Amino acid sequence: MRVCILPVPAQSSPMTKVAVLTSGGLDSAILLADVAKEQQAFPLYVKAGLVWEEQELRMLERFISTLDNPAIQPLTVIPAPVAALYGDHWSLTGDWVPEAATAASNLFLPGRNVLLLSLAALWCSTHGVSRIAIGTLWGNPFPDATQVFFDTFAAVVSKGLAHPIRIEAPFRNLNKEDVIKAHDDLPLDLTLTCMAPREGIHCGDCNKCDERQSAFKQAGVKDMTRYAKIKEQA
């Protein structure tokens, strides 16, 4: 009797799970889209009570909806109010928002990455995820944005949670204009990078708006962002 053996269909390996810290700004939104190309992406938004968050969240939801990628899991919002820690910091009051020429040291949100990564690690430990992606760029001057910090912090939380955690910053060697240029096919106008937005419109005056406009210009990509005020180019 002749036996015919049919080939067994190749089994695709399960997608790797990655928690993506996603604020809704250019860098983290692009990172989410990148991760979701080949991996199962879990967007995490930490809601700390900052003045721009409600508008940022709405934009993020639109961005994710427009991508329409089944690899992107439902957005998780983690409440973590910092008012008791920050007091009357400009990020909570909206007063004296840093303008374009403001020194980088005045933009620091104390312990921002410590808070974000701590909560993300805890979420990962309870959801069977071991990788955290964060959209830190080249030139970030803050102490909680270095590779040494990420590696050291990952080792500490892995030990404390008895759960392996790896922190990845795939854009650490890229400038904002590099990231924009490589992803101009994405709906970048549905991201929010502003410290004082007005109904989803970028103010055009703050440090982040200045940085955003300059990055699009340097990337040579048309900026479809809505600004209340357009920066005069030299």
The full set of domain ranges for the chain reads: 17-219
* Both tokens assigned to 172: 């650490």
Label residue 199 by pLDDT band (50, 70, 90): confident
Q: Which residues of 191-228 are buried (b: 16+ CB within 10 A; e: fewer)?
A: bbbbbbbeeeebbbbbbbbbebbbbbeebebebebebe
Top CATH class, 17-219: alpha beta
* Both tokens assigned to 48: 């700390």
Alpha-carbon distance 58 to 61, whole Å?
5
Alpha-carbon distance 16 to 14, whole Å?
6
pLDDT of residue 109: 87
pLDDT of residue 130: 97
Q: What is the pLDDT of residues 36-95, one digit of tens each?
A: 999 999 999 999 999 999 999 999 999 999 999 999 999 999 999 999 999 999 888 888
Q: What is the pLDDT of residues 100-130, one digit of tens each?
A: 778 766 788 889 999 999 999 999 999 999 9
Global pTM? Answer: 0.89
Residue keyed to tokens 């759960």: 163
**CA-based end-to-end distance of the chain:** 84
Alpha-carbon distance 173 to 103, whole Å?
22
Whether pLDDT at 234 is above 80: no
pLDDT of residue 99: 86
pLDDT of residue 233: 53
User: For a pLDDT cut of 70, what percent of the chain falls above it?
Assistant: 91
Q: What is the pLDDT of residues 146-186, one digit of tens each?
A: 999 999 999 999 999 999 999 999 999 999 999 999 999 99
Whether pLDDT at 133 is above 80: yes
Label residue 1 by pLDDT band (50, 70, 90): very low
